[in-house]
Amino acid sequence: MNKYKVVITGEILPSALAAIEEQCEVRKWQKTTPPRVEELAEWLKDAEGLFVTGKIAVNEALLAAAPKVRVIAQSSVGYDNIDIKACTSRKIPVGNTPGVLVEATADLAFGLLLTAARRIHEGWDWVRAGKWQGEQLPLGVDLYNKTVGIVGMGAIGSAVARRAQASGMKVIYNNRHPRPDQEQLKAEYRTFSELLTAADFIVVLTPLTPESRGMFGAKEFAQMKPTAYFINAARGGVVDTQALYKALSDKLIAYAALDVTDPEPLPADHPLLKLPNILVVPHIGSATTETRNRMAMLAAENLLLGLAGKPLVTCVNSEVNYR
């Protein structure tokens, strides 16, 4: 049997690689820095499938270098790095990995909220620095009876809502549209502006789109409570980083906890990291063994289905999914 020709743009779990290699001749980018299109050009010329992992832009330039590609599979739910319109116009289905990472990402988002509110990370630093006896660690804040405002009440947002309710928090949310099941979710819809002024904790879980890019800027931070905690587990691009820096340093808001940043990765000497009222982790929302494995296997399945001309399990541009 002739094997399909596939390019993998970065790290992939061995289980998913093995599944792909059974049917495909694989060329895999080995370096830790993401490839530029020119660096992949030779491989892309003949590639029939593209498995996207790592920070890489799938744009007109890349697609033009890959004329034979007939399926793109990405091991993430977010697909803001992919020009979907360009893929659709070439009739290339794009697979992502919704659902399988919901609980892990919600754990991390809520974990950031809890860790920041209770200063868990600062406490650990103090213990290690031998400061247990002596100075007083600044006090944290309660979650109980506080209001969490979730911006982007989709699969992960709703899973965060459940965690917040278990801690005795009231949940309000903003979404593209009010949810028909909001009574069941025990969450109240608010306009974006109402949510900003009412929430004690704001958790962002929207996709990054032209509409959501920079939706948290100076004006929005000024509307928040001075005691507000801002948690971003969506994409760095939804926030104006400069404005966040200013809001934290001028104490317009109390604290930020981020899984995602702009730029990403955040350079070690970035001014944000010098602030005392911030917690940053390196985009680990879905980073558990089980979840990453499910994501990689779903992406591999999408790739192999697309190569065989069959419908992908989870397809972003369903209008060009195979039937």
Ligand X SMILES: O=C(O)C(=O)CO
Ligand Y SMILES: NC(=O)C1=CN([C@@H]2O[C@H](COP(=O)(O)OP(=O)(O)OC[C@H]3O[C@@H](n4cnc5c(N)ncnc54)[C@H](O)[C@@H]3O)[C@@H](O)[C@H]2O)C=CC1
Site residues, ligand X (CB under 6 A): 76-78, 101, 285-286
Q: Which is nearer to ligand Y, 24 or 106 (CB)?
A: 106
Q: According to the binding rule CB under 6 A, does residue 55 interact with ligand Y?
A: no
Nearer to ligand Y, 23 or 97 (CB): 97
Query: Which of 70, 283, 292, 294 does the annotation list as catalytic?
Result: 283
Instruction: Give the Cα-Cα-Cα angle 199, 200, 201 (nearest 5 degrees).
Output: 90
Q: Is there binding between residue 231 and ligand Y (CB under 6 A)?
A: no
Q: Which residue has the closest beta carbon to ligand Y?
A: 154
Dihedral (CA of 297, 31, 59, 37) sign? negative
**Phi, psi of 7, rounded to the nearest 5 degrees:** -110, 130
Task: List, in sequence order, the alpha helices (H) in 171-318.
Answer: 182-185, 192-198, 218-223, 241-249, 289-307
| Binding flag, residue 153, ligand Y (CB under 6 A) | yes
DSSP lists the bridge partners of residue 202 as: 149, 230
Compare residues 164 and 299 and give the one whose CB is closer to ligand X: 299
Active-site residue, selected from the candidate residues 70, 190, 235, 292: 235
Two structure tokens written together for 161: 């809502």
Q: Name the DSSP letter for residue 232.
A: E
208 binds ligand Y (CB under 6 A): yes
d(CA 321, CA 309): 9
- Could you say which of 11, 21, 25, 264 is catalytic? 264
Kindly tell me which of 24 and 260 has the beta carbon lying closer to ligand Y. Answer: 260
Q: Should residue 77 be labelled a site residue for ligand Y when binding is judged by CB under 6 A?
A: yes
**List of E strands, 84-146:** 94-95
Q: Which residues bind ligand Y (CB under 6 A)?
A: 77-78, 98, 101, 105, 151-157, 174-176, 205-209, 211-212, 233-235, 259-260, 283, 285-286
